[in-house]
């Protein structure tokens, strides 16, 4: 499912980053690292990374990490992995939201960890895109065929 993007951010660098980030093979903490890296590299806007719980309709995550940023005086929350932990339906945030619209679902605080301070090469190894993962699988299948033919 495509991440939700508020209309004022459609076509922005924020949408580009979130669409790319959603394709990465990582959980919520890895997503925070990846988003912090991309925001630092592409926007120079700092992300605030929060840890805690997400509670929706009586269901809650055991532990969760999400990101918050400000643009043009509006605070936004990014969450791309909540559906891994609760369920995959439209009630569960997946994308960029006005913080004021979803703040009551999140119970946590900002972390003091250093997020996203990795070189690009390490980011690509730790958080591969789905396309990179598919290419790797293709290469492994070709290698298997080559070995089987010998």
For position 140, what pLDDT does the model report? 76
Residue 17 confidence (pLDDT): 97
pLDDT value at position 133? 60
Distance CA 129, CA 70 (A): 26
Domains in the chain: boundaries: 7-148
- Per run of 10 residues, the mean pLDDT along the chain (length 150 residues) is 96 97 90 91 92 91 93 97 85 95 94 69 70 71 81
- Per-residue pLDDT tens over the stretch 24-59: 888 898 899 899 989 999 999 989 999 999 999 888
């Amino acid at each position: 499912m495509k991440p939700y993007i508020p209309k004022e951010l459609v076509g922005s660098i924020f949408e580009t980053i979130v669409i790319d980030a959603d394709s990465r093979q990582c959980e919520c903490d890895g997503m925070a690292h990846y988003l912090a890296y991309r925001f630092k590299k592409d926007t120079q806007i700092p992300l605030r990374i929060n840890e805690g719980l997400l509670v929706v309709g009586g269901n809650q995550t055991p532990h969760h990490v999400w990101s918050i940023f400000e643009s043009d005086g509006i605070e936004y929350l990014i969450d791309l992995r909540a559906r891994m932990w609760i369920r995959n339906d439209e009630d569960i945030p997946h994308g960029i939201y006005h913080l004021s619209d979803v703040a009551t679902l999140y119970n946590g605080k900002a972390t003091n960890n250093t997020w996203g301070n990795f070189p690009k090469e390490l980011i690509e190894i730790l958080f591969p895109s789905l396309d990179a993962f598919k290419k790797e699988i293709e290469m492994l299948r070709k290698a298997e065929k080559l070995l089987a033919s010998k």
